[in-house]
Amino acid sequence: MIYLDNAATTYPKPKSVYQSVMKAMTEYGANPGRGSHAMAIEGARVIYETRELMAQLFNLDDPMRVIFTFNATDSLNQAIKGVLNPGDHVITTSMEHNSVLRPVKELEKYGVENTIVQCAPDGRVKVEDIEAAVKSNTRLVVTTHVSNLTGTIMPVEEIGKMCRGKNILYLIDAAQSAGVLDIDMKKHNIDLIAVPGHKGLLGPQGTGALLINCETEIKHLREGGTGSESSSMMQPDFYPDKLEAGTHNLPGIAGLNAGLKYILNKGTKSIYSHENNLLDIFINEMRKNHKIKIYGPEDINGRCGVVPVNIEDIDSSEVAYRLDTEYGIAVRPGLHCAPLAHKTIGTEKKGAVRFGVGPFNKKSDIMAAVKALDEISGI
């Protein structure tokens, strides 16, 4: 199998990730923070170290403000619903994933207004358009860092600067960028980051995090045991316990720990450069086939990780099916949980075939995909 569905989840992971998951399960598989014995303490130590690695990667001062979650969707729900109250206004973009759009639309029912800023057909958003949408009650701007459909890199530094100037919170959905692009919460004026553990951060599924770089009150959405202030029937008011109820995904976090070490050791610049080189080759090769339509930014430097394409009028699902069954190539067709993004690029009817590269893809994977697309398109 040639795996080019890395935007859904990276595969494979570094070997150290598998080993770390296994070690957590077999050697210290206790409940961290819920006991004082050696195994529970080792679990708690690994979790704390993983908070430190996350804080280091995104330049956050306090590791206790790294909140471990179920997945990026859980992180986004926590951030969006944690800070918004009835009467508030939130701004987002037409390139967002349903993990942003659906919570935002849900909050409409409870009196939270929203504006969805229209992006250009290549996925780019203008900071001026976001700024123009600001109202007196705007409390939060949420944008993706990189579109999961087109790979378009959003101008997060400019948006962060604008938000900071107006005292508006800025949350980024880093599902496609974390572990690949340089993200500096302090320098880039980012208040909140939601990340999955299982994409660019190379951890297992069932992991995610919310990083908090602001003093704003964030309501807890889930209450329960925290192993702290156990005599109280109220959720503790300090991080991370306030937002972390229930047993942690210890094997998952241990795997994420190894993924983060791999990234910090390799450097995001090197990972991005590898992936972007592959994308560049892929796009240039596909441009030779006049039946293929390529979506997203023209300039390779405006793009990260993915490229969606269509072959003339062939349905995206059919292309993906043939890639899988005839060529052993894994990609993702359809709407990618991003309905407005498909509308923005004009593919809401037939979807698109998304190719997503990862750190372990090789040039031969790309060339196999090019050959397959050429054959399917009858060139």
- Give, as ranges, the residues between 205 and 234 that touch its own copies (CB under 8 A): 205-208, 220-227, 230-234
Which residues between 41 and 70 bind its own copies (CB under 8 A)? 69-70
**Exactly one of 34, 266, 291, 293 binds its own copies (CB under 8 A); which one?**
34
Render 92-137 in DSSP notation, one character per residue: EETT--HHHHHHHHHHHTTT-EEEEEPPPTTS---HHHHHHT--TT
Closer residue to its own copies (CB): 1 or 379? 1
Distances in Å between the Cα of 214 and the Cα atoms of 192, 221, 254 are 7, 18, 27
Closer residue to its own copies (CB): 98 or 277? 98
Q: Pairing between strand 208-212 and 169-173?
A: unpaired
The 299-328 contact track toward its own copies, x by CB under 8 A, reads ------------------x--xx-xx----
**Exactly one of 14, 160, 179, 196 binds its own copies (CB under 8 A); which one?**
196
CA distance 292 to 149: 16
**Exactly one of 123, 297, 333, 358 binds its own copies (CB under 8 A); which one?**
333
Closer residue to its own copies (CB): 19 or 284? 19
CA distance 110 to 120: 30
Closer residue to its own copies (CB): 149 or 163? 149
CA distance 341 to 94: 6
Contacts of 72 (CB under 8 A, 6+ apart): 99, 173, 175, 194, 195, 196, 199, 208
**Exactly one of 214, 281, 300, 337 binds its own copies (CB under 8 A); which one?**
337
Closer residue to its own copies (CB): 143 or 189? 143
Q: Is 155 in the site for its own copies (CB under 8 A)?
A: no
CA distance 227 to 250: 15
CA distance 8 to 199: 7
Which residues between 339 and 368 bind its own copies (CB under 8 A)? 339-340, 342, 348
Closer residue to its own copies (CB): 76 or 163? 76
Which residues between 81 and 100 bind its own copies (CB under 8 A)? 97-99
**Exactly one of 252, 296, 297, 358 binds its own copies (CB under 8 A); which one?**
252
- Whether the CB-CB separation of 317 and 334 falls below 8 Å is answered with yes
Which residues between 132 and 151 bind its own copies (CB under 8 A)? none
Task: Classify each residue of 66-77 as buried b or exposed e, where b means 16 or more C-beta atoms within 10 Å of its C-beta.
Answer: bbbbbbbbbbbb
Contacts of 162 (CB under 8 A, 6+ apart): 127, 130, 131
- Whether the CB-CB separation of 194 and 72 falls below 8 Å is answered with yes
Closer residue to its own copies (CB): 263 or 338? 338
**Exactly one of 115, 176, 213, 249 binds its own copies (CB under 8 A); which one?**
249
Count interface residues toward its own copies (CB under 8 A).
88
Closer residue to its own copies (CB): 219 or 269? 219
Q: Is 270 in the site for its own copies (CB under 8 A)?
A: no
Q: Is 111 in the site for its own copies (CB under 8 A)?
A: no
- Rounding to the nearest 10 degrees, give the CA dihedral for residues 291, 353, 143, 87: 110
Q: How far is the CB of 270 from its own copies (least distance, A)?
A: 23
